[in-house]
Amino acid sequence: MKRYKIVNIQRLDICEIGNLKVLVAGPGTIGASLALACASHGHSVTLLGRSEASLERARKLISRCAGELEDASLVSAEHNGWQDRLTMTVQLQEVPRDCSIAIEAINEDLSDKQELIAALQSQLQETAVLASSTSGLPVDLIAANCARASKFAVAHFANPPHLMPVVEIVPGRKTSPETLASIEEFVQSLNKTPVRLNHDVPGHLFNRIQFAMLREAMALVEKGIATPEQIDTVVKRGLALRLAEEGPLEKIDLAGLQLVHDVASYLYPQLDNSQEPELLKKMLGEGKKGASSGQGFFSWDTERETRVLTRRNAEVIRHLQKLKQE
């Protein structure tokens, strides 16, 4: 991990929810989108990066994301001028000294996260709240080097954060109720829906459910039962259309527990239970890394990647506009 330059700065104070000074550490896909989400809801945001090149990539991504919000009228009039509330830096000492909350949004590397969280906390006031946006790493492991683990928790923003409304809040064993309440209020200030887990579990809810589906989808491809195109079509033109308004447990109730029990009794033993992603290992060994390399389960170029992401975000926006009217 490239170390951030750490200097002594004044302690940070918690502000009342409504106009916070927020630090987002990590200008990648999640961090840049999250920084925009915060700034477009009235908060003053500093985006901390490792290099000027990483911040330049973030500027371009934020510009595209902001265009989506503005075209869809998802930025309220009272929060216009978000650009003036967003600054970027590669120096921690340039972060405003009265920031209220810091959110780590770097790569999914445990040691990197431990180092950054501990470094940030060492600079902040004892009352400061810190959160990690990890997709599923254990809270207590990330906080292993924290002097004040009671002030730390996970706030997992679904990708892309500037659009997706759900945020998982995950406590560690030492996380205080006050910390969880502060993060929940912050999430609500972004007009998002906080889902507070009772305790930590690898992958939280979002990715445990998502990866159960991904494992089965990959197994079906590996066994030659269906093509990637066929599987994605069943999900996009079938399952996904219902899931927006009918959750999996609602589905069980509506279908009837007896029916689900009967189907599960013969289907469970047939479902994939692989403990290692062997197909992914094989594909990676062949140089297939997905859209970034041009080949994964599908062939990719810039045009296709842009088209798929644009359509995905447009569909999310359509649902957000519907929710806005309810």
Assigned fold of 206-325: N-(1-d-carboxylethyl)-l-norvaline Dehydrogenase; domain 2 (1.10.1040)
Q: How far apart (Å, rounded) are the C-alpha atoms in residues 314 and 227? A: 26
In this structure, what token pair is assigned to residue 128?
A: 């400061």
Average pLDDT over every residue of 282-311: 97
Q: What's the pLDDT at 125?
A: 81
Lowest mean pLDDT among 36-50, 80-94, 101-115, 259-273: 80-94
Q: How far apart are CA 197 and CA 203, in angstroms?
A: 12
Residues forming a β-bridge with 88: 47
Kindly report whether the peptide bond that precedes residue 96 is cis, defined as omega within 30 degrees of 0: no
User: What is the structure's pLDDT at 12?
Assistant: 29
pLDDT given for residue 325 in this prediction: 80
Tokens standing for residue 159: 């990708």
Annotated domain spans of the chain: 21-196, 206-325
Lowest mean pLDDT among 66-80, 126-140, 152-166, 267-281: 66-80
What count of residues does the chain have?
A: 326
Tell me which of 3.40.50.720, 3.40.50.300, 3.40.50.11540, 3.40.228.10 is the CATH number of domain 21-196.
3.40.50.720
Check residue 18 and give its pLDDT.
Answer: 59
With cut-offs at 50, 70 and 90, classify the pLDDT of residue 15.
Answer: very low
Contacts of 173 (CB under 8 A, 6+ apart): 140, 200
CB atoms within 10 A of CB 10: 11
CA distance 9 to 120: 11
Banded pLDDT at 11 (limits 50, 70, 90) = very low
The model carries a pTM of: 0.88
**Is 306 in a helix, a strand, or coil?**
helix
The span from the CA of 147 to the CA of 309, in Å, is: 40
3 band by pLDDT with thresholds 50, 70 and 90 = very low
The answer, yes or no, to whether residue 9 has pLDDT greater than 70, is no
